[in-house]
Structure formats: C-alpha cells, structure tokens
Amino acid sequence: MEKLTEAEKTRIEKAFSNKNWPEIASSNSWSIFKIMAEFVEGFEKLAKIGPCVSVFGSARTNPEHPHYKLAVEISQKLSAAGWGIITGGGPGIMEAGNKGAKAGGSASVGLNINLPFETNNNPYQDDDKRLNFDYFFVRKMMFLKYSQGIIVMPGGFGTLDELFEALTLVQTDKRAKFPIVLVDRAFWEPLMKWIQNTLIENQAYVSAKDTQLFQLVDTATEAVDVIFSFYEKYSMKPNF
C-alpha cells in the first residue's frame, strides 16, 4: 500500500476526531436537507428534457483518442435523431458525449460531481441543463431515472460502477429493461469472459440469461442501431 500523503493523513484524522453523539446526530440530520435539495433540483431540471441516452466512460480519455472520437460520433448520431445526451459533465468521454449532442442539436445534459482532483464542467453542456452534485448516489439515480438507454465506453472504476448499477436494477426488475450498449469489444471481452467463466459457469452467481441484458458493439452505427431497434421492436416510445 502506498504511503499516505499529509493531506490524506489530515483527512483521516479529521474523520476520526472525537465527537459526541449529539454532534454526530446533528450533522447527519442536516445532511438530509442537502441530499433532498440535490434530488429536487435534479427532478425539476430533468423532468421535461425528453428522451435521452446516457453516455458513460473515462474522464481521462484524450480528445485525440479513438474512443473520444467514437463517443462524439455516437452521440451526434443519437442527437441528430432527436435523442438528448446525458453525461457526467466532465472531461474525456463525458466531454465527447456533450460535444456530440451539441453538434447534433439536441439536449446536452451534464450531471457534474464535485471532486477535489478532477476538473469538471466541460464547455459543451447546455447552461440550463447543467447540474452539480456532491453525492454520487443522487447523481447515479438521475442518470438512470431519465435515460432510455446507456452507451458505455471504456473507462475505469466509475464507469464500471455505473454499468453494474444499471445491470443490477434491470436484473432485479427495479426498473424496466432498456438498452445497455458496451462499445469496443476488445476492451470489454476480458470482463465478459470472467463473467461467463467465473460468475456463470464456475460459481453460478449469475444466470446465463443475464448476459442478454447488454450488447457489445464496435462502431457508432452498431451502437445507435441497438437503441433504435430496441424501441422499434417493442413498439415503444421513449419514456418522457
């Protein structure tokens, strides 16, 4: 394990500083109001945005990277067809998603999260559809509540967290099935093999049918076709 920095030590010491129960209880109670405020603002701003697709992916992806360019293309194709784009509002793939939405002329939504080490608020978000969150769980709920599909580009822990949150909610019938598209087969196939070999075949922790909850694609055309064909197949209109 890496040696802690002075800033990390100070943060841990602060978290474990002596507090009596009334202080702790009071602090927790006031946090509820801040959480409620984030939910209310999110509901009010996103309730009328129309059909949207969320685009997930790494904040570290450079604009010259093929994944960035592919995310722009996918988002622009969806946008041109009338779908709004929701991202985390930051750089990398999030910026690419908002950039594609701007180019396609649809709603460009940014669900920004306040982090101490990462720049957020890319310039391609619509000003009236820009939200800022302190709580990841509130932000994730907004992603999934107001999306009719998700595009998952390659990414790190945050991307995996968002992907598995969506899969869990659909698997457990906490929300209706909707298209979940994983882009770049070469990137995702090692994870798919682990799911198949370990979770399904060796341990039986996941049902084989659960692999039908998502689709793997390589191109922008394939990605948007999954979204379009899903709603055409079930004769459904986007939920808005």
Domains of the chain: which residue ranges?
9-233
Overall CATH class of domain 9-233: alpha beta
Cα 175 → chain centroid: 16
pLDDT tens-digit profile, the chain (240 residues): 567 788 777 776 666 666 665 665 556 677 888 899 999 999 999 988 899 999 999 999 999 999 999 999 999 999 999 999 999 999 999 999 999 999 999 999 999 998 776 656 899 999 999 999 999 999 999 999 999 999 999 999 999 999 999 999 999 999 889 999 999 999 999 999 999 999 999 999 999 999 999 999 999 999 999 999 998 876 555 543
Model pTM?
0.86
Coil, helix or strand at residue 89: coil
| Contacts of 156 by beta carbon, 8 Å cutoff, 6+ apart | 58, 60
Element (H, E) at 98: helix 93-104
pLDDT of residue 146: 94
Tell me the two tokens of residue 15.
């978290």
Encode burial over 140-157: b for 16+ CB neighbours within 10 A, e otherwise.
bbbbbebbbbbbbbbbee
Q: String of b and e for 79-101 (b: at least 16 CB within 10 Å)? A: beeebbbbbbbbbbbbbbbbbbb
8-140-191 Cα angle (round to 5): 80
Distances (CA, A) of 229 to 81, 91, 169: 13, 30, 22
* Per-residue pLDDT at 3: 76
Give me the pLDDT at residue 239, please: 44
The whole-number pLDDT of residue 235 equals 52
Give the tokens for residue 39.
């939910």
Q: What pairs with residue 110 in β-bridges?
A: 87, 130
